[in-house]
């Protein structure tokens, strides 16, 4: 399997630089705004993409140092790296690197802290599907003081085993194989964004540990995690069971799509997050059983319950008009419900908008079936007519009643309120009857065509 250096030379055609003094020339090229001396194929790009190259180790350190010193973004996803020492060797020769993607490498750990590696510029680290253990995550947090965004999706976590609170097992108790005690982790004030998509975490108490470790967290993605509630359920949090937001004072974006939440009370808990303004709440079991009949009604109920949310499910910013309409609709939704079923938000909105009258249900659709008088010569009968039929269909039906062939039939429509204006011939066979504005009580006169 190739080293990173070999994969780099194969992809970009770089030649080994044997002259030590070229280092200073490279430094000059970096700050120059003119065309560099080396051809483009002989320059390492700042965005270095070497994914799926079967890389399993770093390569010769001095050559790496010369060729990778300008790299700012490194993508090594889906390689064969399985040793963190090799990763640290690679990063030690990229002092400017800010973004690293190591997804789909088997980097479970453990991690031994390197003696000299300095990664003060690394801000974004992607470790999806690496099966990295929480002990190793805790080590990385100590090594990366500038880290702002961390991706730990698809790592098969069932618990979050890091915490800023030391938790010792009770006297005589031992941790189970499935749930060892959490590691005592110092808070990391730099991390603003965390992605945990596709893990198996089901309890909000586990997520609260995330909030304690990352007190400045602004964006938390928990899509495809089977969370059952936003209410902490462990023994320590029972006194503060309603304070789901306690450790998320700065959280602005929360993605809970495909959670297993089935309670409107959890929507109300979201309203307690002081900075939350952007949420994704799609594909919940709650929506399958809600009594709202349309997507629009469901959106209105959510907007009314979440007064601080400005973006819902990735849509446009919620404007003042839509919010007021939603809040008024919310009040009317609970007008006929007993007090026991009305949420606290209902009474808050009544204070703002008053107790509204129900909307009058006005159906503006035309009648589908009307009763019309048909007159042919000295015969006159009433029949119910489906106005969605065409003139041709009507003639075929009348043919059986009045013994007049449809091909020799003329129809004239008479509006009961506009008789003085005369008759309107229904001459177009494919015209639909409702286009004549036919109502019950109108008349249609039938004439037989005279043979010419």
Query: DSSP for 282-345?
Result: -S-HHHHH-S--SHHHHHHHHHHH-TT-SEETT-SPPPHHHHHHHHHHHHHHTTTS-GGG--HH
| Residue 173 pLDDT class (50, 70, 90 cuts) | very low
> How do residues 129-165 score in pLDDT, each as one tens digit?
999 999 999 999 999 999 999 999 999 999 999 987 6
Distance of CA 94 to the CA centre of its chain: 35
- Residue 359 Cα distances to 84, 188, 322, 328, 365, angstroms: 65, 53, 17, 11, 17
Name which of 448, 446, 447 is nearest 381 in CA terms.
446
Q: How far apart are CA 290 and CA 299, in angstroms?
A: 12
Cβ(436)–Cβ(426) below 8 Å: yes
Residue 235 pLDDT > 50: no
Question: In this model, does residue 178 exceed pLDDT 80?
Answer: no
What is the SS3 assignment for 375?
Answer: strand
In sequence order, what are the beta bridge partners of 447?
410
- SS3 at position 29: helix
pLDDT, tens only, 397-418? 898 888 889 999 999 999 988 8
Residue corresponding to tokens 């009949």: 293
Whole-angstrom distance, CA of residue 310 vs CA of residue 163: 31
pLDDT digits (tens, 9 = 90+) for 104-133: 999 987 888 887 667 889 999 999 999 999
Dist CA 47 CA 26 (whole Å): 17
Indicate the range of 23-27, 73-77, 96-100, 420-424 predicted with least confidence: 23-27
Average pLDDT value for residue range 241-245: 68
pLDDT of residue 38: 47
Residues 257-267 have pLDDT tens digits of 999 999 999 99
Q: How confident is the model at residue 363 (pLDDT cuts 50, 70, 90)?
A: low
- Element counts in the chain: helices (H) and strands (E): 12, 17
Structure tokens at 17: 């630089």
pLDDT over 90 for what percent of the chain?
Answer: 58
What is the separation of C-alpha 384 from the centre of its chain, rounded to a whole number of angstroms? 51
Name 336's Cβ contacts closer than 8 Å, sequence gap at least 6.
Answer: 358
**Residue 433 to residue 444: CA distance in whole angstroms:** 11
Buried b (16+ CB within 10 A) or exposed e, 92-109: bbbeebbbbbbbbbebeb
User: Which whole number is the average pLDDT over 168-176?
Assistant: 46
Q: Which residue has the tokens 């309120």?
A: 417
Residue 151: how many CB atoms within 10 A of its CB?
A: 22
How far, in Å, CA of 208 to CA of 246, rounded? 8
Average pLDDT, rounded, for the chain: 86
- List 74's β-bridge partners, or say none: 48, 100
What distance in Å separates the CA atoms of residue 93 and residue 89, rounded to the nearest whole number?
7
pLDDT tens-digit profile of 11-31? 887 555 544 444 444 454 555
- Burial (CB count within 10 angstroms: exposed 0-12, middle 13-18, buried 19+), residue 191: buried
SS3 386: strand
According to the model, what pLDDT value does residue 84 have?
A: 93
Q: What is the pLDDT of residue 409?
A: 92
Contact present, 66 and 42 (Cβ < 8 Å): no
| Structural contact between residues 79 and 54, judged by C-beta atoms closer than 8 angstroms | yes
Tokens representing residue 358 in the block: 């129900």
pTM listed for this prediction: 0.73
Closest Cα to residue 201, out of 210, 212, 188? 210
> DSSP string of 56-123?
-B---HHHHHHHHTT--EEE-TTS----HHHHHHHHHT-TT--EEE-TTS------PPPSS---TT--
- The pLDDT value recorded for residue 18 is 41
């Amino acid at each position: 399997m190739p080293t990173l250096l070999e994969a780099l030379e194969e992809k970009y055609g770089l030649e080994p630089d044997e002259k030590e003094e070229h280092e200073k020339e490279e430094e000059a090229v970096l700050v120059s705004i003119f065309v560099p001396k080396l051809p483009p194929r002989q320059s390492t790009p700042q965005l270095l993409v070497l994914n799926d190259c079967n890389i399993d180790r770093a390569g010769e350190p001095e050559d790496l140092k010369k060729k990778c010193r300008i790299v700012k973004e490194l993508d090594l996803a889906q390689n064969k790296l399985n040793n963190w020492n090799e990763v640290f060797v690679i990063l030690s020769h990229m002092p400017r690197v800010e973004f690293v993607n190591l997804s789909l490498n088997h980097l479970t750990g453990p991690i031994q802290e390197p003696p000299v590696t300095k990664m003060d510029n690394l801000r974004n680290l992607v470790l999806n599907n690496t099966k990295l253990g929480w002990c190793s995550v805790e080590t990385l947090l100590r090594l990366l003081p500038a880290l702002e965004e961390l991706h730990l999706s698809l790592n098969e976590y069932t618990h979050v085993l890091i915490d800023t609170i030391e938790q010792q097992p009770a006297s005589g108790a031992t941790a189970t194989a499935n749930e060892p005690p959490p590691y005592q982790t110092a808070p990391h004030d730099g991390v603003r964004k965390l992605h945990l998509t596709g893990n198996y975490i089901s309890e909000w108490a586990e997520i609260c540990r995330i909030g304690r470790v990352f007190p400045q967290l602004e964006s938390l993605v928990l899509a495809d995690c089977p969370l059952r509630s936003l209410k902490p359920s462990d023994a320590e949090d029972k006194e503060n069971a309603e304070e789901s937001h306690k450790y998320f004072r700065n959280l602005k974006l929360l993605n809970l799509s495909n959670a297993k939440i089935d309670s409107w009370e959890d929507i109300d808990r979201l309203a307690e997050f002081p900075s939350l303004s952007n949420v994704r709440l799609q594909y919940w079991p709650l929506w399958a059983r809600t009594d709202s009949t349309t997507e629009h009604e469901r959106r209105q109920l959510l907007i009314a319950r979440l007064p601080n949310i400005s973006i819902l499910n990735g849509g446009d910013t919620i404007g003042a008009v839509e919010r007021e309409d939603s809040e008024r609709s919310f009040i009317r939704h609970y007008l006929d419900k007993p007090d026991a079923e009305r949420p606290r938000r209902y009474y808050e909105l009544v204070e703002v908008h008053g107790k509204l009258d129900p909307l009058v249900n006005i159906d503006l659709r035309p009648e589908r079936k009307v009763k019309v008088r048909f007159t042919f010569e000295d015969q006159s009968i009433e029949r119910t007519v489906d106005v969605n039929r065409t003139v041709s269909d009507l003639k075929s039906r009348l043919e059986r009643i009045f013994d007049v062939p449809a091909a020799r039939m003329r129809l004239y429509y008479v509006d009961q309120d506009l008789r003085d204006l005369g008759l309107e011939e229904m001459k177009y066979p494919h015209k639909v009857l409702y286009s004549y504005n036919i109502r019950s009580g109108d008349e249609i006169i039938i004439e037989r065509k005279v043979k010419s």
